[in-house]
């Protein structure tokens, strides 16, 4: 069975990490992160998608996702290339991919993202966290123009999503290029911070303690996009830590 070693330029390069091409990502050893990459929390999961299939990620519609090869030199990424055939129980995003085996409370999530949708007011990609089930989770909507349903931090709690952002930009500056996104969560005080390209000044902030842990992932509300170098730093949630 073929093994793949992440390139030295990938965030997933930690202590000669190897990933099984057919089985998907393997949670990496708890190497400490540098202060410039999300603090001193251990890296508990990393995926650079350098393989043929998405692996064990959890999808609302597996058929809408694939591993794509882009750029020079050739680089593999996770791509949501078409709309998911999925009807959520309450009004919320349709296209969701959750990282396998990652249930966290406090964490820092870093990922590179590329929107492949047409340019319009609600052009978006999303990050998901605190995910309990299809009608209970948080998500970040990185939308081209902010309004009550776009470019904000949303809570889905058994009813259609509600914006909970305390501050946010007037819109996400989408281009057809790659962008870097960071999501920081601290459950004790409910802090939620979202960064887009600028890692010094948050693009969105909120405080909420509805869900104190959960799964994390990527996707879009109803657009398409690509994701790469998905890294989570924090501590895995256990019942003892509740």
| Contact by Cβ (8 Å): 11, 37 | yes
In order of start, what are the domains of the chain with their CATH numbers?
3-241 (2.60.120.200)
CA–CA separation, 181 and 17 (whole Å) = 23
Residue 9 pLDDT: 55
| Contact by Cβ (8 Å): 139, 185 | no
Cα–Cα separations (whole angstroms), residue 14 to 2, 8, 47, 231: 19, 9, 11, 11
Span 33-62, pLDDT tens digits: 333 455 678 999 999 999 999 999 999 999
Residue 21 pLDDT: 36
121: alpha, beta or left, given left = phi > 0 and alpha = psi -120 to 50?
Answer: alpha
| Contact by Cβ (8 Å): 158, 90 | yes
Span 137-148, pLDDT tens digits: 999 999 999 999
Percent residues over pLDDT 90 in the chain = 79
The average pLDDT across 195-200 equals: 97
* pTM (two decimals): 0.87
> Quick check: helix, strand or coil at residue 198?
coil
Compute how many other C-beta atoms are within 10 angstroms of the C-beta atom of residue 38: 21
């Amino acid at each position: 069975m073929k093994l793949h070693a992440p390139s030295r330029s990938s965030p997933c390069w930690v202590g000669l990490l190897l990933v099984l091409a057919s089985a998907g990502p393997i949670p990496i050893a708890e190497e400490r992160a540098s202060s410039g990459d999300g603090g001193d929390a251990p890296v508990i999961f990393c995926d650079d998608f350098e393989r043929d299939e998405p692996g064990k990620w959890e999808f609302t519609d597996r058929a809408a996702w694939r591993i794509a090869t882009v750029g020079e030199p050739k680089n593999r990424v996770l791509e949501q290339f078409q709309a998911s055939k999925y009807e959520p129980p309450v009004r919320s995003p349709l296209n969701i991919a959750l990282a396998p085996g990652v249930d966290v409370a406090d964490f820092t999530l870093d990922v590179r993202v590329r929107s492949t949708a047409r340019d319009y007011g609600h052009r978006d990609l999303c990050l998901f966290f605190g995910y309990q089930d299809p009608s209970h989770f948080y998500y970040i909507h990185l939308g081209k123009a902010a309004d009550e349903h776009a470019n904000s931090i949303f809570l889905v709690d058994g009813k259609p999503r509600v914006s909970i952002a305390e501050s946010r930009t007037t819109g996400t500056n989408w281009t057809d290029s790659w962008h870097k996104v960071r999501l920081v969560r601290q459950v004790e005080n409910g802090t939620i911070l979202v960064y887009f390209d600028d890692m010094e000044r948050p693009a969105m902030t909120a405080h909420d303690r509805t869900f104190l842990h959960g799964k994390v992932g990527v996707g879009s509300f109803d657009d398409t996009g690509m994701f790469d170098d998905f890294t989570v730093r924090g501590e895995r949630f256990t019942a003892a830590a509740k």
